[in-house]
Structure 1
Amino acid sequence: MTTRQTFTTSSHWGAYTLTVEDGRIVGVDPFAGDPEPSAIGQSIADAVDSEARVTQPMVRKGWLENGPGPAGGARGREPFVPVSWETATDLVAGEIARVREAHGNQAIYGGSYGWASAGRFHHGQSQVHRFLNCIGGYTYSVKSYSTAAAQVIVPHVLGLNFLDMMWHHTPRWPLIAEHTDLFVMFGGIGSKNAQVSMGGVTRHSTGPWLKECRRRGVDFVNVSPLASDTLAEVDAQWLPVVPNTDVALMLGLAHVLETEGLTDREFLATRATGYEKFRPYLLGETDGTPKTPEWAAPICGIDAETIRALARRMAQGCTLISVSWSLQRAHHGEQPYWMAATLAAMLGQIGLPGGGVGYGYGAIGGIGTPIKRLDGMTLPQGQNPVGTFIPVARIADMLLNPGEPFDYDGKRLTYPDIRLVYWCGGNPFHHHQDLNRLEQAWQRPETVIVNEPWWTPTAKRADIVLPATTPYERNDIGRAGSDAFVIAMKQAVQPFGQARDDYTIFADISEKLGVRAAFTEGRDAQDWLEHLYDRFRQGIAAEGLTLPPFESFWEQGIVELPVEGDEHVDVPFGDFRKDPAAHPLKTPSGKVEIFSQTIAGFGYDDCPGHPAWMEPAEWLGAPLAKTWPLHLVSPQPATKLHSQLDFGRTSANAKVQGREVVTMHPDDAAARGIANGDAVRIFNARGACLSIARLSDAIRPGVVALPTGAWFDPAREGSSLERHGNPNALSLDTGTSKLGQGSSAHTALVELERFEGPLPPVEAFAPPPVVSR
């Protein structure tokens, strides 16, 4: 007899009801209250029993036979040997103990990213960091690939933590719909990116809000090389800017404001500082180059009269300037964020309803949503006794250059000598830039350990792989600070093979290292769920909010908190605008810092004391463009979250011949003899990848767009050719600047040619060879 059950679950891309028959997920239905549910959820059904699952603990053959040491190219090439859980945990505990004793805890790098699961307890990053803190700490990373440059520059300019700025001090959609006349979107607002949000997004509202704003008369300008970077329904004016040149365009706009008397002098005098040092640069008094529209036009690719007209429009009414995350993932990525705040200060609209500057709309779901944000319910990670850290995008630099100094936000730091990498819930062979360089760096540590449900490119390049459960094979609680719902994520199916949840894995290793009591605090997983829930419940009681007892919540399955609505909307920087003396910003001056004495004091040649145009290492105006004449941008995919569920049906159905699709302009295609649907080779000095061409006039000529997320699949025999369409085989691995040291993945020049001959097979999802001991 067939058994049929339904389970509610949450994910970073939405809430769903899972239908399970005879132990298998056979149906995925989106939450009924979601106005625009994400199709990514349909891939959940493919996750549990994918051919890419890790069936049991595995150890790389060479490591098992020869012991720890630099791999010399063997990681990612050698077969694996299956072992028992007892053997695996002995090996892991023994290796951790060896490294700690011989080299100290700073020789352990604790990787992981927070996107592993929307569940608050089985949160891979929290689990591995808690475990490592219990054994004496580890070298850690700061900031994120998504927003590292922004996270460093925004506190200097606006005195706010960037995430706090984005969630609390970016104008909310009701204010925009009611008050904004002109919405200028540098980098666009891609509702496809807003499918996802950290911890879950139960109602996808970015698209509906954009349409509502347009219905109520808001005019939009999309400054991006891609017309698709905003919804067609908002009827945006498209300014197809040359990638990485937005600052030049902003300077051209600023020049018009200054020279035509459109600058708000009173705001600059009372609520900003340093304009008197920026203005001479703007007018060319310091370098002999006035930043006129005529100067900006050949750099950014937007004609001077269009720049001049836009500047005048911005000064005529209530204007909101937004900047996407993508703009700061480029060489000198701090500058567009700084310059956008400067433009908003020149207009004098910071602190007005619907005006000023906002960051990250559409980058993830929930930005701008009228909601009372409630954080909490994450597993405590404890305190890290080790103070050694790196900016997250500098992993390859760290592994390749132990002992070398580097600059970061005013500090002179040194790369540690990492002997052991422990990764849980992440795939750096998706996130990182220049994956061929990372491949080389990844061979340097003595041991790499990975907890992972699937044979990701990172798992294939590990020494010890511990099979972890998926979110559908364990109990958890879904809860996000920007979401109104708390969701009981009940186990829907049995664990695949010998998979165990990360908590059990770390508890068992902790036992062998003598710290089980510290790690577990005497609780099993279900005890922790109740504990975290009750702690959150008590915390929000102080806000006048109530949740049912845990038992009732677990039975009910989903609870909506009354935290969403227009009553939760206030005017960002409103108090500061009204009385800057009584409500100063948390900058050294208490004002918007157009010039930062702090940054100027660092003496960085790639980040001066005020926003400035500096040529990127690679761009279409560089001499290098004669060799590599196309600029590669790598937007977030519409069919998955980063590389998650790349093997699922939603992602697979969007590929052609099993590969990601690259969008290019018909003129660029014609010049290379390429037709729609042709297989193409995209290449530069760093590597090459295969893709399938899609021709479109909705992309600027000279630009090609290849989404991220295809599992890294290099040809095996000494070739740098990546077969699946991963743009990070080509991207530039250099810091945004000495200030932020973020990812510069969007700074990449390439060439593209028609691929002749039979296409090699894609083997990204195939497990590695497994042999007996």
Structure 2
Amino acid sequence: MAEDRARNSKSGEKTLIRDISFCGVPENGSNASMVDVKDGKIIRIRPMHYDWKYDPEKDMNPWKFDVRGSTFEPSMKTLIPPYSIAYKKRVYSPARVRFPMKRVDFDPGGAPGSTGPGGRNTQNRGKSKYVRISWDEALDIISKEMNRLKETYGPTCLLYQCDQHGENKVVQACHGAGRKLLPLWGGYTLQIRQPDSWEGWWWGSKHFWGCEPVGQGKQSNLLLDVAENCELLLFWGCDQETTPWGWQGQLPSRLSYWYSELGIKQIYVCPDLNYAAAVHADRWIPVLPNTDAALYLAITYVWFKDGTYDKDYLKTHAVGVETYEAYVMGEEDGVAKTPEWAATRCGVSARVIKALAREWASKRTSVVIGNGGPGIRGPYATEPARLQNICLAMQGLGKPGVNQVKMIEWGLFDFPDQYAQPKPLRVPNLRKAYTGGHPSDKNDPSLPKTLVPKAILEGSCDWWGCESETAPREDQFIHRFYPAEGASKIHAVWTDSPSWITCWNGGNDYVRAMQHPDIEFMWAQHPWLENDALLADIILPVNTKLEEDDIAADIFSGQYNLLYPENKCVEPLGESFSDYEIVCMLADKLGLLEEYTGSKSIPELIKYGWETSRCADLISWEELKDKGYFVVPTADGWEKEPRGFQKFYEDPKNNPLTTPTGLLEFESTGLKEHFPDDKERPPVPKWIPSGITHQETLETERGKKYTLLVISNHPRWSVHSQHEDITWLREIPTCKIKGPDGYQYHPVWLHPSTAAERGIADGDVVSIYNDRGTVLAAAYVTERIMPGVIYIDHGAKWDPIVPGEIDRGGAINTIVPRNVTSKNAVGHAVSGFLAEIEKTDLDELKRKYPDAFNRPFNPTAGPGLDAVMAGGEE
């Protein structure tokens, strides 16, 4: 940040401020950190102090909650999570890609589909070792392959995978630096990222209450609203002691403790007694994974029966209530959705359902959803999403204390509602300087991420909607096809976001798709040798953000908005470059460098970030560099801004929602018009145990063979697929468990009764399996999980024994459902599915797959360079 600053001791130690945000929307950051560097190496990462260069009262106008005789205010330092503090381990990981690499049995001169010496050997992706090559050779291979493929098939044969989560970078990009290059080259096919944390809201709730772009409830000023007005908080599948770490740090944890001090009751509804529930819950109500729809229906049954809902509100704020009531009370199908009916499906007793319904109706209640998580990312997730909305609506959505609360990411103010706040609150926005792709960007042709394996393996597919991650509700009624008219099938893949296998649906299908002979060439650029990168023909080394200059904005921490330039802390490891620099080198090979860069240097682009940040009138470039950061003062009168759905609650006619009627739609107008006969996402939300897309409940035939329901949460000790190689974290038993072979296995939680029925003891290596494959893990036997349920975090590092069949690393996404949310909603479904578990015979596996067990492995970091280099690391 600015110049090397802070202390310069006799030992040569220097301190730099950096942004260590690892996930979220690429052009936004969270939780700025301080990085101590000594003799060219990172020695420590620690919180940054807001008052280092600024006087809080004079310069920052601190916000404060004074509620019920108690005060809550921001800390004077950033609340960074544990893996930010430990991130130097990630920088110096043995899995860092330090030089360009080529798959040893890939010959770019080989004919498409060729095998053996001189062939492309696509069938060996994920199995082959690598050799070191020079940058010139790597770029020559890539540029020649690109031009050959374009000449043979046309440019749309190249699928560009540039989404997913990554380090927070702006000018140096984190993903998508090629989005500007490829149109100059002639075109491409864009992989569209689904709204992965919001699937049920995006495909369901937008048809109930609008709330573009992602369908989650309006958030402005809700943290204060909760403090002032709530009597009960229902944390539904929410763990604010874990999930916010990657986005917002520890502010939600502080808030939860404070809410308890205020006397606000907290009930957690989730299959597992998660970390937040363990310390904050007044009561834990365990519910079977992906059965929440049945529970919501039974709650509304009680309200209809008892008359304990806001009838007058629904008359003026909602449509379709009578149709919904007919379904709930059994008039439509002859089955009343009673607590007794729900109990057999969701695992919550009828007595508890009735008690929950009556307590909810008797108190000013908000539902806390975190962000989305497993409760909204399963088969038919549109139904529990809409049904949760209906529950809130029936109690007067938008009245003080009645809202849907995220409690992570955007803190005090909604996004983008916060843009409307009066001066001087000015949220820094660095999008114009960002050199990567953005979720709202569009390209024709495109392919939804969830359908990539199907498109390649089957050769064609079709879907509705999904023009972009931020597409409006109406886009869901547009029919699209692969291959698009006039476009080629996919024959090459370029990825700078290689986390498909471990974060998306049907990971084993993706492996098989990348091994398909149609995919003649695949290359990856990434800082680490992990996951999809192990399938690539060419791998290019990328810097971490601590090895490059950039500019950053911290707007997710929920404390203060920051803008700051970033200085390189240490020299790049090996021969690595930033994503942007790599695309510049490729553009040069293609003769497009000048057109690609617009003749702007990286320092010029960084300054351009300040110029277009919306803060240039508040601080000069020279002062920003001198001070090193800018704290945007809190606006006067911020507490008077509308809260959640308040304006709609007070005057629905003049503050309509973005639904077709402008009202809450218990029966969706759009779905009724376009998909009136859809049994999997009907106009009125329902309980859907199975259908043509999924058979993932215990009520199905598959439920007799695979008798356990799997919940797959956001990981506590990493963010999606990142941080798996931070060795300090791997010493924590709930992060990794050492097996008898010395390998550190990903833990899977199971109840003592579930374990006893299968002869499994704590610490045993087990196999989690279904008809889609097998994943090894280590048993963590605990009463913090329901009987009949197993819990394993998603995002573990892929370490295949047999690529596409058996994984040793705990990558549960390899066996999640391959199909999308439902027939006409192409979101992913990655939790609440069927599997079975048994103790693993490691000796038998070693005999059957000796190569997989005899290869070198780093027990604290998974596969490293030494495991994949032919003849060892050079």
Name the TM tier (shorter chain).
Answer: over 0.9
Alignment partners' CA distance in 1, 2:212 and 2:275:
26
Once the two structures are superposed, the pairs formed by residues 22-101 of structure 1 within 5 Å of their partners are 22-32=39-49, 33-34=76-77, 36-67=79-110, 69-70=112-113, 71-101=121-151
1:745 equivalent in alignment to 2:799? no
Which one-letter code corresponds to 2:644 in the other structure? P
Q: 604, 611, 630: which one pairs with 1:527?
A: 604
Alignment partners' CA distance in 2, 1:334 and 1:68:
45
Alignment partners' CA distance in 1, 2:554 and 2:160:
24
**SS where residue 86 of structure 2 aligns?**
helix
Alignment partners' CA distance in 2, 1:333 and 1:500:
40
Partner residue in 1 for 2:293: 247
Partner residue in 1 for 2:447: 390
Q: Deviations over 1:611-633 (max 9, x none)?
A: 11001421233332222122111
Partner residue in 1 for 2:737: 656
Which one-letter code corresponds to 2:631 in the other structure? E
Q: Deviations over 1:364-395 (max 9, x none)?
A: x4356689462620315589784222332222
Partner residue in 2 for 1:6: 15
**SS where residue 699 of structure 1 aligns?**
coil
1:402 equivalent in alignment to 2:459? yes
1:16 equivalent in alignment to 2:88? no
Which one-letter code corresponds to 1:666 in the other structure? P
1:186 equivalent in alignment to 2:236? yes
By how many angstroms is 1:738 displaced? 2.9
Decide whether aligned partners of structure 1 residues 80 and 233 sit closer, same or farther in structure 2, where only a CA change above 3 A counts: closer
Partner residue in 2 for 1:376: 429
RMSD over aligned Cα, in angstroms? 2.6
Q: Please, which moves more after superposition, 181-190 or 728-737?
A: 181-190
Which one-letter code corresponds to 2:737 in the other structure? V
Decide whether aligned partners of structure 1 residues 609 and 125 sit closer, same or farther in structure 2, where only a CA change above 3 A counts: same
Partner residue in 1 for 2:423: none
Decide whether aligned partners of structure 1 residues 376 and 236 sit closer, same or farther in structure 2, where only a CA change above 3 A counts: same
1:351 equivalent in alignment to 2:398? yes
By how many angstroms is 1:475 displaced? 0.7
Answer whether contact 2:765 2:776 (CA < 8 A) is retained: yes
Once the two structures are superposed, the pairs formed by residues 464-613 of structure 1 within 5 Å of their partners are 464-483=538-557, 484-536=561-613, 539-540=614-615, 546-563=617-634, 567=638, 569-600=641-672, 601-602=674-675, 603-613=677-687
Alignment partners' CA distance in 2, 1:423 and 1:325:
25
Partner residue in 2 for 1:414: 481
Q: Deviations over 1:440-479 (max 9, x none)?
A: 0112322111111111121111112111111111011221
Alignment partners' CA distance in 1, 2:193 and 2:442:
15
Decide whether aligned partners of structure 1 residues 441 and 181 sit closer, same or farther in structure 2, where only a CA change above 3 A counts: same
**SS where residue 745 of structure 2 aligns?**
coil
1:675 equivalent in alignment to 2:761? yes
Alignment partners' CA distance in 2, 1:283 and 1:687:
41
Q: Deviations over 1:570-608 (max 9, x none)?
A: 211222222211111111101111111211222423110
Q: Deviations over 1:679-731 (max 9, x none)?
A: 22222222112211111111111111111222101115x78331122212321
Alignment partners' CA distance in 1, 2:176 and 2:245:
23
Once the two structures are superposed, the pairs formed by residues 629-708 of structure 1 within 5 Å of their partners are 629-654=707-732, 655-657=736-738, 658-708=744-794
Q: Deviations over 1:218-262 (max 9, x none)?
A: 112211001115343433321110111101000000011111111
By how many angstroms is 1:65 displaced? 4.9
Which one-letter code corresponds to 2:869 in the other structure? P
**SS where residue 466 of structure 1 aligns?**
strand
**SS where residue 93 of structure 1 aligns?**
helix
1:765 equivalent in alignment to 2:860? no
Alignment partners' CA distance in 2, 1:361 and 1:738:
32
Which one-letter code corresponds to 1:560 in the other structure? V
Alignment partners' CA distance in 1, 2:204 and 2:428:
24
Decide whether aligned partners of structure 1 residues 284 and 375 sit closer, same or farther in structure 2, where only a CA change above 3 A counts: farther
Q: Deviations over 1:60-91 (max 9, x none)?
A: 23333544735442112223232222222222
Partner residue in 1 for 2:67: none
Once the two structures are superposed, the pairs formed by residues 297-308 of structure 1 within 5 Å of their partners are 297-308=343-354
Decide whether aligned partners of structure 1 residues 599 and 243 sit closer, same or farther in structure 2, where only a CA change above 3 A counts: same
**SS where residue 748 of structure 2 aligns?**
strand
By how many angstroms is 1:22 displaced? 2.0
Alignment partners' CA distance in 2, 1:243 and 1:735:
17
Q: 319, 331, 340: which one pairs with 1:285?
A: 331
Q: Deviations over 1:271-328 (max 9, x none)?
A: 1111122111111111111111111111111111211121111221211123443222
Partner residue in 2 for 1:176: 226
Partner residue in 2 for 1:155: 206
1:619 equivalent in alignment to 2:691? no
Decide whether aligned partners of structure 1 residues 289 and 368 sit closer, same or farther in structure 2, where only a CA change above 3 A counts: farther
Alignment partners' CA distance in 2, 1:375 and 1:433:
34
Decide whether aligned partners of structure 1 residues 583 and 236 sit closer, same or farther in structure 2, where only a CA change above 3 A counts: same
Alignment identity in percent?
Answer: 25
**SS where residue 551 of structure 1 aligns?**
helix
**SS where residue 304 of structure 2 aligns?**
helix
Alignment partners' CA distance in 1, 2:198 and 2:634:
27
Q: Structure 2: which 5+ runs fail to align? A: 1-9, 23-30, 50-75, 114-120, 420-426, 466-475, 484-488, 739-743, 847-852
TM-score, with normalisation over the residues of structure 1?
0.92
1:366 equivalent in alignment to 2:410? yes
By how many angstroms is 1:96 displaced? 2.0
**SS where residue 496 of structure 1 aligns?**
coil
Decide whether aligned partners of structure 1 residues 455 and 530 sit closer, same or farther in structure 2, where only a CA change above 3 A counts: same
Alignment partners' CA distance in 2, 1:34 and 1:392:
38
Partner residue in 2 for 1:216: 262
Which one-letter code corresponds to 1:418 in the other structure? I
Decide whether aligned partners of structure 1 residues 315 and 75 sit closer, same or farther in structure 2, where only a CA change above 3 A counts: same
Partner residue in 2 for 1:129: 179
Alignment partners' CA distance in 2, 1:540 and 1:163:
27
By how many angstroms is 1:540 displaced? 4.2
Alignment partners' CA distance in 2, 1:279 and 1:164:
23
Partner residue in 2 for 1:712: 798
Q: 511, 514, 518: which one pairs with 1:442?
A: 514
Alignment partners' CA distance in 2, 1:298 and 1:108:
49
TM-score, with normalisation over the residues of structure 2?
0.82
Which one-letter code corresponds to 2:592 in the other structure? V
**SS where residue 230 of structure 1 aligns?**
helix
**SS where residue 801 of structure 2 aligns?**
coil
Decide whether aligned partners of structure 1 residues 44 and 698 sit closer, same or farther in structure 2, where only a CA change above 3 A counts: same
Alignment partners' CA distance in 2, 1:370 and 1:384:
22
**SS where residue 113 of structure 1 aligns?**
coil
Alignment partners' CA distance in 2, 1:27 and 1:482:
23
Which one-letter code corresponds to 2:782 in the other structure? S
Alignment partners' CA distance in 1, 2:586 and 2:801:
36
Alignment partners' CA distance in 2, 1:233 and 1:370:
27
